[in-house]
Copies of this chain bind each other. A is one copy, B any other.
Amino acid sequence: MIRAAVVGATGIVGQQFLVALKGHPWIEVKSLAASERSAGQLYRDAITDKSSGAVRWFCDEAPVEEFMDLPVVNANELSTADIDVVFSAIDSGPAKILEPIYAAEVPVVSTASAFRYEDDVPILLPGVNADHARLLEAQQKRRGWKGFVTPDPNCTTIGLAITLKPIQQAFGIDSVIMTSLQAMSGAGRSPGVIGLDILDNIIPYIPGEEEKVQIETQKILGILEGDSIRPAGFAVSCTCTRVAVLEGHTESVFVSTKTPCDVASVIKAMTEYNSGLAIAGLPSAPQNLISVTTDPFRPQPRLDRDNEGGMVTTVGRVRQDTALKNGIKYMLVSHNTKMGAAKGAVLTAEMLIRDGYIA
């Protein structure tokens, strides 16, 4: 069994890691780390408010009993001696400091954005760019680490990059225009989105999000050449908004392809992309990376986010676009805190275990 530590274990993403790792066939959680405030307590106590008795557990799934009595250590003092992989669920600021310390010794799979944009760091998306994992070796060499840091993509990037991949393969891509309608869970809970701001409303701006999606999509769909990734050559332009949805990002996508395409051929490319997927057999992998529906009223975030354990991207409303050269447009729904966060990072770790990067 691969021995894992979860850092940031008391926060919402940390808790999602615990849910994703419950009864995992390959990975066992050996260590939980959090901020100084929680350190020294049993996990059960660390998430319980002493004065009121309220339990601060934020997942829909029940608290995972098998981890409740593990002690929580200070993230600054985490020992990696008996650990094979660190799952990092901390914010970008502390991640910048702590992840290199862990990575000096062991692999770190992270949901933070801290290292995503560095030249020797791939943004792995299982089923899409597994070959980029080779960049981790260059990273180790360059930084003199025994481990490495491999960050997962931003939750909004994931559904977009996954659905663009078969289009890129089949027709080439000239440009991408996307408007997102993002769930509140993407903003976390500190305080995240305030109820007074979002009920009967839309917030038309998520600081930094559009830049992340634009850069990450090009990097993920780029080509690894020697020790660096040449970004995909097409432009990506986004508008990212927040809506009163709990979980599940919805995206309205318009694509201009290099060679002509039509609705049927795009649906065929997306559907066939699932067969022979290199992630088949990984414990957290969905049966399909992409599921295409012909019901014109789908995908809907509440109805489709949990498809295949929240790990599939559901596509619908594939139509010809009339404003772009070789234009195609579609909607997608992707679960931003399953495939888009902890469970997606566990899938990445599974791929790296299978391929020998984590051992």
Contact = CB atoms under 8 A, between A and B. Distances in A.
A354 B294 CA distance: 44
B202 A196 contact: no
B204 A298 contact: yes
Nearest to A243: B243
Interface string A98-136: 000000000000000000000000000000000000000
A193 interface: yes
A192 B196 contact: yes
Range for the number of chain A residues in contact with chain B? 35 or more
B324 A175 contact: yes
Most buried by B among A207, A302, A327: A302
Contacts of A199: 184, 195, 198-200, 244-246
Nearest to A188: B196
Contact of A185 (B189, B196, B295): B196
Interface in A169-204: 175-177, 179, 181, 184-185, 189, 191-204
A198 to B, nearest CB: 5
Nearest to A296: B205
Copies in the complex: 4
Contacts of A317: 204-205, 239
A245 B204 contact: no
Contacts of A322: 214, 235-237
A139 interface: no
B207 A52 contact: yes
A180 to B, nearest CB: 9
A303 to B, nearest CB: 7
29 contacts: A52-B295, A53-B294, A53-B295, A54-B296, A177-B323, A191-B191, A192-B195, A193-B194, A193-B195, A194-B194, A195-B244, A198-B199, A199-B199, A199-B245, A199-B246, A200-B302, A201-B302, A202-B243, A202-B301, A203-B297, A204-B250, A204-B317, A204-B331, A205-B296, A205-B317, A207-B296, A237-B321, A239-B329, A241-B331
Nearest 4 A/B pairs, CB to CB: A191-B191, A237-B323, A179-B179, A175-B323
Interface of A: 52-55, 58, 60, 175-177, 179, 181, 184-185, 189, 191-205, 207, 214, 235-237, 239, 241, 243-246, 250, 252, 254, 256, 294-303, 316-317, 321-324, 327, 329, 331
